A and B are shown apart, each in its own frame.
Chain A
Amino acid sequence: MHFSRKNLGIPYAVFLTVFVIAPLLVLLFYAFTNGQGQFTMQNLTGFFTDPNALGTLFYSLLIAAVTTLVCLLLAYPVAYILGTSRLKSRSVIIMLFVMPMWINFSLRITALKEVLTLIEGNLARYPFTNAVIGITYDFLPFMILPIYTTLEKLDGALREAAMDLGADPVRTFLQVTLPLSVPGIISGVSMVFLPAMTNYVVLDMLYNSTYIMGSLIGSYFSAYNWHGGSMIALILLVIICLFTLLTSEDGEENPRGGALL
């Protein structure tokens, strides 16, 4: 039998069909049916007329936005220093930021919980702050790595050219380095913002009362309301798609895209 390179893709195609496409179809089916298996728009209109559900959506957006901003502010300076210096030890430092990801997730969050309890006394006192800290802690490496990769690939001669043409270090950063690292920022933001809206496991483990989209879906499913939960998941999916579409259009205009993902 003739073997072509295309055949190498078969295992992934099977995986894609079974674990991505099929569940999506199931999700779609459940979202637009009721308990009797009949087509209905009830789930969709239900979501947008339920003030609690809408409130959760906006609150999730707020948590995600704040978390993403905090991640960006923490990650950019680190990525900048590592990406633009000629430090010999930079791979070690990068490793230090990535290493927490190798430690078991629940152990990590439990440790964070203990530390926060030690500092704050009662975790229930600052639910919003704790939610932001927890999610930031979990996702920070995903913000650092793409920005670092972009800055590291950035030709150092561009910064020198800016200085050579009379731009001081601040202007060089604002007019050259920052605009050229936008692909990395977008990549980092999309890896933090979207998961931050749904990652309620972190909050659960922090005994956090904050209710986000993930929690909402979880509560529907634990009440065996597959139809309502599926619709919310679908709505999130649409939001994610719109977001990605918007940002990737921006990224393509930039010929130096080269972020991690």
Chain B
Amino acid sequence: MSTTENIIELRHITKIFDDDGFTAVDDFNLEVKRGEFVTFLGPSGCGKTTTLRMIAGFDVPTSGEILLNGESIVGLPPYKRPINTVFQRYALFPHMNIYNNIAFGLRQKKTPEEEIRRKVRKVLALVDLEGFEERSVSTLSGGQQQRIAIARALVNEPEILLLDEPLGALDLKMRKEMQIELKAMHDKLGITFIYVTHDQEEALTMSDKIVVMNEGKTQQIGTPEDIYNEPATAFVADFIGESNIFSGIMTGKLKARFCGGEFACVDDYPEGTHITAVVRPEDVEIVPAGTGTIDGVVDTVIFKGMHYEIAVLSGKNEMVIQTVHSAKPGDRVGMRVDPENIHIMKAEDHTNTFYADINSAHRIEYNGHTLDTSLTRIIKGSRRLENGNILDANGEVIDPARMRILVSIQPEDIEMTDDQDAGLIQGTISNLIYLGDHYSYIIHTELEQDFVVYDEDLWNMDDRVSLLMPVEKMSFALRKK
């Protein structure tokens, strides 16, 4: 791909903030073609806004290059870049009327007043706010301020328009309308748009290309279809749309075991590979018990208008299913999934994760054992009230009936023992690979989960072991049930 086709290129961009040493963006690479609509998508704190600010010039990358039309602009201050920004909360100048707000950029370039007047009128027509010149900012609604902010940026005819969560402050209906209008504006003007949002639906609706980010790193770059259908990592699968995500293992040629069953699949990995399996809720078929790949008991049924959302418990695993047929909680059902609809990827890391419950005494319980820790110790910012309730960092009561704890522990932190009652859970060794200086074992537990354990000693296949997991090695996260 030649550089002239790319309007902007980011090469190995890293941003580490001086004051706290926080790495906001880590080795970010991107090429944007002229006229493309690119969206940075990710949860808050993933580095998407920082990346945008570096393109605008408000933040300077710690290392890396930003090329505009093939030339580096890293040293260029924001007021010298042919790039304009639509800010999150609009940032309209409150001491100027609408006309002067929009004219601000043109005046800096010493444009003749006659031309300014013509351009302002034209851009106000574009955003459908003709005749608003003399109005003051405070008399405008949120949606109107948003349009003025877009007009103020567009009137400068930038090469690239940056939009930082521009629709975040609008209500749902207005947001949907603006999505369509922005997309139409982009198609009409042919300007390159770089858009930042945490709303996956917005990203899928509007973009030519989506960059999914998490913790400062690019997770996947692709078209909306690619990202939805072929997520590259478990994070992307989880973030885009709803997914059932299981960790599992390849048990043979095009065979994977996860969620307590052995499924046929179309992704080829060597036997014994630790994998992450993603199944979209709409791809699971409910069949009579015993005739599917796995069986389970219906836990909850929620009517969603177009479909039912049914959660089925199979052992300790939960499968969420979207279907037009209802079911009754307590029903025993079978489940099957088309091999094409099972998306298998190699597990990025071998961190073991499992869900533990919060009991009525606010203790954490797993497989009948109570963990030797407390909620306030493991949930950052949480505190116990005098009435015994526990609040999370946002001040909301943690309800044991609705919340559970996602526990993560590394393979090297788990120890195997013959003493069956000593560990948190028991299982049999279903796979082992020698990795040079240690063995990697897969332990299939009685709760139909697979744990990865590293051990220097050789154990035998099908040995029955108990897993010792020290609480201080675990990390915890609060999740909705």
Nearest CB on A from B134, distance (A): 15
Within 8 A of B (CB), among A131-185: 155, 157-158, 160-168, 171-172, 175-176, 179-180
A255 near B94: Cβ-Cβ < 8 Å = yes
Q: Which of B19, B78, B94 is the one whose CB lies under 8 Å from A164?
A: B78
CA A155 – CA B93 in complex, angstroms? Answer: 10
A166 near B95: Cβ-Cβ < 8 Å = no
Nearest CB on B from A100, distance (A): 30
Within 8 A of B (CB), among A168-206: 168, 171-172, 175-176, 179-180
Cβ contacts under 8 Å, B77 to chain A = 163, 168
A158 near B93: Cβ-Cβ < 8 Å = yes
Chain A CB within 8 A of B256 CB: no
Residue of B nearest to A180 (CB): B95
Residue of B nearest to A88 (CB): B19
Cβ contacts under 8 Å, B19 to chain A = 86, 88
CA A163 – CA B137 in complex, angstroms? Answer: 20
Nearest CB on A from B60, distance (A): 13
B91 near A165: Cβ-Cβ < 8 Å = no
B88 near A157: Cβ-Cβ < 8 Å = yes
B108 near A160: Cβ-Cβ < 8 Å = no
Residue of B nearest to A160 (CB): B58
B156 near A157: Cβ-Cβ < 8 Å = no
Mask, B46-79, CB within 8 Å of A = 1, is: 0000000000111000000000000000000111
CA A171 – CA B93 in complex, angstroms? Answer: 14
Nearest CB on B from A76, distance (A): 18
Chain A CB within 8 A of B314 CB: no
Chain B CB within 8 A of A108 CB: no
Chain B CB within 8 A of A90 CB: no
A88-B19, A155-B89 as given contacts; A165 in contact with B94, CB under 8 Å: no
Number of B residues near A (Cβ < 8 Å) is 29
Chain A CB within 8 A of B104 CB: yes
Chain A CB within 8 A of B87 CB: yes
A161 near B93: Cβ-Cβ < 8 Å = yes
Cβ contacts under 8 Å, A180 to chain B = 93-95
Nearest CB on A from B193, distance (A): 15
A166 near B88: Cβ-Cβ < 8 Å = no
CA A172 – CA B156 in complex, angstroms? Answer: 17
Cβ contacts under 8 Å, A171 to chain B = 108
Cβ contacts under 8 Å, A164 to chain B = 56-58, 78-79, 83-85, 153
Cβ contacts under 8 Å, B91 to chain A = 155, 157-158, 160-161
Q: Which of A86, A157, A165 is the one whose CB lies under 8 Å from B89?
A: A157
A160-B87, A171-B108 as given contacts; A166 in contact with B93, CB under 8 Å: no
Chain B CB within 8 A of A209 CB: no
A155-B89, A157-B87 as given contacts; A166 in contact with B156, CB under 8 Å: yes
Residue of B nearest to A86 (CB): B19
Nearest CB on B from A113, distance (A): 43
CA A150 – CA B77 in complex, angstroms? Answer: 26
A88-B19, A167-B108 as given contacts; A161 in contact with B85, CB under 8 Å: yes
Chain B CB within 8 A of A254 CB: yes
CA A164 – CA B89 in complex, angstroms? Answer: 15
Within 8 A of B (CB), among A19-33: none
Chain A CB within 8 A of B152 CB: yes
Nearest CB on A from B12, distance (A): 25
A176 near B108: Cβ-Cβ < 8 Å = no
Among A164, A176, A254, the one with the most B-chain Cβ atoms within 10 Å of its Cβ is: A164
CA A154 – CA B246 in complex, angstroms? Answer: 48
Residue of A nearest to B80 (CB): A166
Cβ contacts under 8 Å, A86 to chain B = 19
Within 8 A of A (CB), among B78-116: 78-80, 83-85, 87-89, 91-95, 104-105, 108-109
Residue of B nearest to A155 (CB): B91
Chain A CB within 8 A of B475 CB: no
Chain A CB within 8 A of B460 CB: no
Cβ contacts under 8 Å, B87 to chain A = 157, 160-161
CA A123 – CA B445 in complex, angstroms? Answer: 92
B138 near A162: Cβ-Cβ < 8 Å = no
CA A168 – CA B136 in complex, angstroms? Answer: 25
Q: Which of B84, B88, B95, B136 is the one whose CB lies under 8 Å from A165?
A: B84
CA A44 – CA B108 in complex, angstroms? Answer: 54
B156 near A165: Cβ-Cβ < 8 Å = yes
A160-B78, A165-B156 as given contacts; A256 in contact with B109, CB under 8 Å: no
Cβ contacts under 8 Å, B108 to chain A = 165-167, 171
Nearest CB on A from B135, distance (A): 13
Cβ contacts under 8 Å, A166 to chain B = 79-80, 105, 108-109, 156
Nearest CB on A from B91, distance (A): 4
Cβ contacts under 8 Å, B88 to chain A = 157
Nearest CB on B from A248, distance (A): 17
* 16 contacting pairs across A/B (C-beta < 8 A): A157-B88, A157-B89, A160-B56, A160-B58, A162-B104, A163-B78, A165-B79, A165-B84, A165-B105, A165-B156, A166-B79, A166-B80, A167-B104, A171-B108, A179-B95, A254-B94
Residues of chain B touching chain A, judged by Cβ–Cβ distance below 8 Å, are: 19, 56-58, 77-80, 83-85, 87-89, 91-95, 104-105, 108-109, 136-138, 152-153, 156
Residues of chain A touching chain B, judged by Cβ–Cβ distance below 8 Å, are: 86, 88, 155, 157-158, 160-168, 171-172, 175-176, 179-180, 254-256
Known: A165-B105, A166-B79, A166-B108. 20 other contacts (CB 8 A): A88-B19, A155-B89, A157-B88, A157-B91, A158-B91, A161-B85, A161-B93, A163-B57, A164-B56, A164-B58, A164-B84, A164-B85, A164-B153, A165-B152, A166-B105, A166-B109, A175-B104, A179-B95, A180-B93, A180-B95
